[in-house]
Amino acid sequence: MAGCCAVLAGFLFQYDTPRIVLIRSRKVGLMNRAVQLLILAYVIGWVFVWEKGYQEMDSVVSSVTTKAKGVTVTNTSKLGFRVWDVADYVIPAQEENSLFIMTNIITTMNQTQGFCPEVPDKNTVCKSDADCASGSSGTHSSGVATGRCVLFNETVKTCEVAAWCPVEDDTHVPKRNILPNITTTYLKSCVYDAITDPFCPIFRLGKIVENAGHSFQDMAVEGGIMGIQINWDCNLDRAATHCLPKYSFRRLDTRDTDHNVSPGYNFRFAKYYSDLTGPERRTLIKAYGIRFDIIVFGKAGKFDIIPTMINIGSGLALFGVATVLCDVIVLYCMKKRYYYREKKYKYVEDYEQAKTEEFSVTRR
């Protein structure tokens, strides 16, 4: 109990005040300056130079427009000789922050609504009507089953469906982006290159895929999604000509060779037509291609007095770390720590109590 009272009395009736002690020691002096130098390097080098702590930062807000140009030629057994332009292979014509380029198609010509055999697979091949469930419609089926087993070709029978006929057979698929100084003349001839022409906003499709580490030929067959990343890091304290974009590319769709259930990117669309005497017909197209997503990010900064003063104050406060560290080493780690403690701390009694004790001694 007496000990607790002594601690409480010490807490209530004692006061600590800093005492400045000059220690003439090369070892302690060099250590103190080294810590201060490290703190100064951190504040100037990292906070102000690298992180631009003197600036007010804001994120980049942007709007992206895309345009594709060019023609190509194909010669296939189904379509024959055909010239493809932008109206054919860019679907849809405009998207927000994206551009889809069709690179491979499967066409099913002259479809009409009716009854026809399903495409053969392990679930549709049959030998008799008993193998076909009437009214069933699977996730991957082309229509609703009628319950009949009919000839698909001379050797194979499959379950009949009510659908757009003939049904699509996709089993035989072969495996196989303006700165102020840019002129119209320059745009007509430039092509983006990460080393020789990194600011040209015109890209070859193959180069985009190649820069992402993939094969264009393989990706064109099964399709995919490519991200075109445009990074803007702008220092608004400098001229606007120094604010330049940096392009990078990466593949966004899942491509796992061990678990490749639905690779690439594709979708279906149909073109409908009819004549005066016949039923409505359509041509079903399963389009494989590469969708390009344009992703813009970055930040912009400009000098502002408030973050500047905040970071200067924080830096000055860090200099107290040097004093605390040196005090710990001098008072607790060095061989002469008891000597330094005697110089660092001085115990002073209450003035009135000291005068009373002095008076008592004098009277004796």
3-state secondary structure of 275: coil
Helices of type H across the chain? 2-13, 26-41, 86-89, 184-189, 205-211, 216-222, 305-332, 337-344, 351-363
CA dihedral 336, 339, 343, 347 (to 10 degrees): 130
> What is the distance between the alpha carbons of residues 288 and 115, in angstroms, rounded to a whole number?
27
Domains of the chain: 7-54+306-363 (1.10.287.940), 72-118+167-303 (2.60.490.10)
**Residue 3: which region, alpha, beta or left (left: phi > 0; alpha: psi -120 to 50)?**
alpha
Q: Which amino acid is at 70?
A: G
Q: What tens-digit pLDDT sequence spans the chain (364 residues)?
A: 666 777 677 667 776 666 666 777 777 778 778 888 888 888 888 888 887 777 777 666 666 667 777 788 888 777 778 887 777 777 777 677 777 777 777 788 888 889 999 988 888 889 999 989 888 877 678 888 899 999 988 889 999 999 988 888 776 554 334 777 777 788 778 888 888 888 888 888 888 888 888 888 888 888 888 888 888 888 878 877 778 888 888 888 866 555 556 677 887 777 888 777 777 788 888 888 888 888 888 888 888 888 888 888 888 877 777 777 777 777 777 777 777 777 776 666 665 655 565 555 555 5
CA dihedral 37, 31, 315, 234 (to 10 degrees): 30
Closest CA to 59 of 300, 358, 322: 300
Q: Model pTM? A: 0.50
Helices of type H across 73-152? 86-89
Closest CA to 217 of 225, 208, 206: 206
Q: How buried is 208 (Cβ within 10 angstroms: 0-12 exposed, 13-18 middle, 19+ buried)?
A: buried
**What is the H or E stretch that residue 147 is in?**
strand 144-151
3-state secondary structure of 39: helix
